[in-house]
Amino acid sequence: MCLFLPDSFMSFSHRFSPIKMSSQVRLRLLPSARCLFDDLLQVKVSGLRSRQVVALKASSTDDKGVEFRSSATYRADGLGELDLHRDPSLSGSYVGVEPMGLLWSMKADTLHQRFQKTNSLKPNVVRFSVHEVEGRGQGEGRTLAELVAERLMMADGVQRRPVKDGNVRGVLFTPPGPGPYPAVLDLYTFGGGLSEKRAALLAGRGFVVMTVALYGIDDMPKNISEIHLDYFEEAIEFLKKQDKVKRVGLTSLSKSGDLVLSIASFLPNIDATVWINGCSANTVFPLYYKKKQILSVLPFDVSKVVSTESGAFITKNAIPDPAAEENRASLIPIQQASGRFLFVASEDDNNWDSPAFVDEMTQRLRHHGKDNFEVLICRGSGHYLEPPYGPYCASSFHGFLGKPVVWGGQAKSHAAAEVQLWKKIQEFLRAHLSCDSTQEKAKL
- Which member of 258, 271, 348, 349 is catalytic? 349
**Rounded distance, CA 43 to CA 85, Å?**
7
Concerning whether 414 is annotated as a catalytic residue, the answer is no
Q: Measuring CA to CA, which residue among 324, 323, 318 is closest to residue 333?
A: 323
Q: Measuring CA to CA, which residue among 204, 40, 56, 228 is closest to residue 120?
A: 204
Judge if the upstream peptide bond of residue 31 is cis by omega within 30 degrees of 0.
yes
In Å, what is the CA distance from 151 to each residue of 3, 114, 123, 139, 390?
Answer: 12, 18, 5, 30, 11
**Rounded distance, CA 341 to CA 357, Å?**
14
Q: How are strands ordered across the β-sheet holding 26-30?
A: 26-30, 42-46, 82-83
- Which member of 71, 254, 256, 262 is catalytic? 254
Degrees, nearest 5: CA angle 170-173-176: 160
**Rounded distance, CA 256 to CA 295, Å?**
15
- Which member of 131, 383, 398, 432 is catalytic? 383
Concerning whether 367 is annotated as a catalytic residue, the answer is no
- Element (H or E) spanning 256, and its range? helix 256-266
Torsion angle defined by CA atoms of residues 420, 425, 426 and 427, in that order, rounded to the nearest 10 degrees: 80
Concerning whether 383 is annotated as a catalytic residue, the answer is yes
For the annotated catalytic residues, the residue numbers are 254, 349, 383
